[in-house]
Every structure is written in structure tokens, then in C-alpha cells.
Amino acid sequence: MSTIEVCLVPELYQYRKTAGNNHIAVVVDILRATTTIVIAVAQGVQKIIPVTDMNKLSEFKKNGYLIVSERDGLQSDFADFGNSPLQLINANIKNAAIAISTTNGTRALSVVNAADKILIGAFVNISALCSTLRTLNQNIVIVCSGWKYRFSLEDTLFAGAVCENLTGDNQFAGNDDSVIASMELWKQAKNDLLNYVSSSEHYQRLYSLGVGESVPYCFELDSYPVVPVLEGGTILNYSHH
Ligand code: MLT
């Protein structure tokens, strides 16, 4: 039976219970990095390069990449887009090459250094993700991006939803306390998700910054049924990789 566990912030990945490399890491940053990435892949971009050091983005810009960059919720001055799913939904980015750097999401992607595969999850692709995870049938470590090394309500709710989906039969065992806790949290929220999550710190932060217009899109389950994979430093559509 394969196992599933949840790292509530990226830094816990190094202390994970799942031994060795034979696991799939699912990185999530609901507000908004992995939602943005899923939507961009669904829009048919050629590739997405996650970049932790913003200073490296200028090189990508010189090489014709579109730049998606955000710090503390706000779009970076030189960027073509902030980390806003709505901006990308309304943009013509098919076949574009994108470089992305965000406050927490791209760092979380860089932390996951021992996984066999790194998949990118969000509410907008959750069923396609779970179906892919069932097909692969490997151990799973869900890595929540959080906010500056701290717990994120919305990322943990997503982890609980994935755990509820996958531990219902005998394919995956979720005995980890983080799985139990995230599933309990999901049970509280699932019937009125947007209202429940409206009390989260980052939800409130985005609206107070005047960039809350994308937030509802981040909680629309299965609106973009594609599964991005990070492989060799490049994010592609898993089904096409
Ligand atoms: C993050 O990387 O923490 C978020 O994506 C930041 C944001 O877009 O608000």
C-alpha cells in the first residue's frame, strides 16, 4: 500500500517520514503560485521556468521570456504579470516561454530535491491530479508552500482534500498526524470553501493590497484539468512530457 504525508511548510520536507526517493512530491500554493502555474499550462504555454532569485529574471526577459513575478503579493516592477491567475486567464500566452518567481511557491519548488517526480497541485486541477497520483501509485509527499515559513490555511485545506480523495480505499495509507489534521480541516471547510477560507491571512492580505480579484478563481475545483510536472528545472504539462 502506498503512503501519503503532508509537510505543512516546505522546510519540513527535509524531516519527512517517507524514506528515500521513491515518492511523488505535490507542491501547492493555492494563493496563488500553483493556481497560476496550472492555468498557464492549461493555456498552452511552451514552458515555465521557476526562479527563486529575482535577479536572474532579467536574463530570461532578455531572452524573450514573459516574466511572472511577485513579492509580498504585489507585482514586481519589471514583470509582465504579477502572480495573478486572472491576468493569465485574460492574456494570450499560448506557446509562450514564462519565467516565474514568487514569495513562497517557487521556493517550495526548489526545496523538493529528493522526489522521483514533482507535480503541481491546486484546487483548479485537483481531480486530474488525484487521478494521475492513483495511476502512478507511488508514495506521496504533499508540500504546502505556506507564507514565509509559516502555516497556510488554504494550502492545508487542499492537502486535506487530496488526502480525503486518495485514502478512501486501500490504495493509499494516510496515518500521519498531518494527514489526519488536514482532512479534519477540509471536512470543516468543504461545503462552503470560499467563505471558510476568507478568514485566512493571505486571502485577507491580497484583498487589502487591492489584488484580490483572482482569489475566487483559486477555489474553483477542477476548472483547469491539467497536471503540470517540474522536470529538469522546467515545468511542462505532465500528459505531454
Ligand atoms: C506565494 O508565492 O506565496 C504566493 O504565490 C504569493 C502571491 O501570489 O500572493
CATH numbers and ranges of domains, the chain: 2-34+103-232 (3.90.1560.10)
Which tens digits make up the pLDDT trace of 167-193?
A: 999 899 999 999 999 999 999 999 999
Cα–Cα distance list, 222 to 20, 160, 230 (Å):
31, 16, 20
Sheet strands (E) in 55-182 = 66-71, 74-75, 97-101, 117-121, 139-144, 172-173
The Å distance, Cα 31 to ligand 1 centre, comes to 6
Return the H-helix or E-strand segment holding 229. strand 228-231
Q: Which atom of ligand 1 is nearest to the CA of 206?
A: 9
Nearest CA residue ID for atom 7, ligand 1: 73
- Percent of the chain exceeding pLDDT 90 equals 96
Q: Which atom of ligand 1 is nearest to the CA of 145?
A: 3
The Å distance, Cα 216 to ligand 1 centre, comes to 15
Residue 189: count other Cβ atoms within 10 Å of its Cβ: 19
User: What per-residue confidence (pLDDT) applies to 239?
Assistant: 83
User: What per-residue confidence (pLDDT) applies to 19?
Assistant: 87
User: What per-residue confidence (pLDDT) applies to 241?
Assistant: 61
How much is the pTM? 0.97
Dihedral, CA of residue 48, residue 69, residue 156 and residue 10, to nearest 10:
80
Ligand 1 site-directed mutation target among 83, 145, 215, most atoms within 8 Å of CB = 83
The Å distance, Cα 156 to ligand 1 centre, comes to 15
Contact 99, 68 (CB under 8 A): yes
User: What per-residue confidence (pLDDT) applies to 42?
Assistant: 97
Specify the length of the chain in residues.
Answer: 241
The Å distance, Cα 104 to ligand 1 centre, comes to 6
Task: Identify the residues whose C-beta falls under 6 Å from ligand 1.
Answer: 29, 31-33, 70, 73, 83, 102-105, 145, 206
Low-confidence stretches of the chain (pLDDT < 70) are 241
Which tens digits make up the pLDDT trace of 13-37?
A: 999 999 889 999 999 999 999 999 9
Nearest CA residue ID for atom 9, ligand 1: 73
